[in-house]
Amino acid sequence: MTSASARQRSTRRRPSAAAGQHFTRSPCPMHLPIVLTCRFASHSSEESAKAKTQKEVIKTLKELKLHLPAEKRHGYKSSTLSTLKYALRCVKQVEGKVLPFQSALFCHPSGLDVSSYTIEEIDSITSEYTLKNNDIFAVAVSLSTGRIVYISDQAASILNCRRDVFKNTKFVEFLAPQDVSVFYSFTTPYRLPSWSMSTGAESSPSDCVQEKSFFCRISGGKECRGDLQYYPFRMTPYLMKVQDTVHAEDQFCCLLLAERVHSGYDAPRIPTDKRIFTTTHTPSCVFQDVDERAVPLLGYLPQDLIGTPVLLHLHPNDRPVMLGIHRKILHYAGQPFDHSSIRFCARNGEYIILDTSWSSFVNPWSRKVSFVIGRHKVRMGPVNEDVFVAPTSAAEVKTVDSDIQEVTEQIHRLLLQPVHTSGSSGYSSLPRTDHIFSMTSSSEDNCCGDKMAEQEEETCSKSRPVSDGSTWCHY
């Protein structure tokens, strides 16, 4: 009896154990409102966090869109994708570019006479240029930190901002994002000429070989009066030491003379007979080099054009004309020739008419065209004389379409053919200084290097500052 009752009790306990394994206990009906309230509160907090994150994303995108170049802002319809792509491109350009400044003290030219100056002395020696030209300001940037050590009073008025915005800030913060990498590449310490050697009484033409100006767009920063606007400047860099009142050792700095560039069609206008510039492009019809004289005539900085297709900037009806021009280039085998005018789109979206002449450099070993040289004279300027203003409509944004690709491929195939007619290298169409040419060059790369050296010497002669108050760039 006792055994039977024990088995019965054991049998009654098994279902409850099984139920505990397979079923969860339901909440008490009295506790149900509390559970639902907790779940609702948790859901509400998640929704609130998502909404807050979304607001921050929208706010960040709006701020990013403010930094888009004017030509990329299509009214208020700048797409999120285009904004993010532009931001990513700027990050890639800037990434890794801070190291040159940080390692400056270890790579300055050995044996170069670099004089040391106080802030008062810098202000005195640069006033010779800044006080005689209202478009010039001077700035000294530390090569170890990138921060502004000195900036002349004219900078605030030229950039339309308060003077205190420059205090304890990095100079690159005032540059257009797409120009930051250009700034770093031209201010590499070992490439900078010493200020004392370039401007002293003992300076010679050979001391000027390294000196080369470049172009950047500069703004007054986020705190500037009115909308954020970038102005084009021609920058001439020098190397000097600045006496540091905080540290015992003087710090290496890059002294920059920055001159604002105005449209060549605004008063005072560039004379019509001097509205000339030169370009070079590859057999694939991609800009390889652009004369600095093109900046006030086209509104583009050299870095805006270099690496872009030539046909992208021409009037659609003139693109097939370029195929005929390159046929003549192949026929003339390096000899210069004149051609009919073409229409080139300036930065403001309007077309200017150029009278062009062309030549080429033919590799004497492969007998193929290495690069094409164009000499252009402006026959008719744009209706809107301010070539630096951004295009007014989205239609002016250029894209490489199928027509451009087709003509470019035809030109490339054409110039792959060897040149059978003997001819010169075609440099007779360009200004030249014979002592620059290296007669020992035997490769295509060396020939190209001679050309670049020639243009660098020509640029050097234009970029040296003068004390009579005139501008550096004589067009």
Tokens of 9: 């009790």
- Which domains, ranges and CATH numbers included, belong to the chain? 116-195+211-260 (3.30.450.20), 276-391+399-416 (3.30.450.20)
Give the Cα separation of 3 and 6 in Å (integer): 5
Tokens of 76: 């208020």
143 contacts 244 by C-beta, under 8 angstroms: no
0.95 exceeded by pTM = no
- Calculate ∠ Cα 157-163-167, nearest 5°: 145
Place of tokens 């005689």: 132
> Would you give per-residue pLDDT tens digits along the chain (475 residues)?
455 555 555 545 554 444 444 444 555 555 555 555 556 566 677 778 788 788 778 878 777 776 666 555 554 455 777 777 677 766 655 554 444 444 444 455 545 668 889 999 999 999 999 999 999 999 999 998 899 999 999 999 999 888 889 998 999 999 999 999 999 999 988 888 888 776 654 444 444 444 589 999 999 876 665 667 899 999 999 999 998 776 667 889 999 999 999 999 988 889 999 999 999 999 999 999 999 999 999 999 999 999 999 999 999 999 999 999 999 999 998 899 998 899 999 999 999 999 999 999 999 999 999 999 999 999 999 999 999 998 876 545 577 788 899 999 999 999 999 987 654 444 444 443 333 333 333 333 444 444 444 444 444 444 334 333 333 333 3
| Three-state SS annotation for 396-455 | HCCCCCHHHHHHHHHHHHHHCCCCCCCCCCCHHHCCCCHHHCCCCCCCHHHHHHHHHHHH
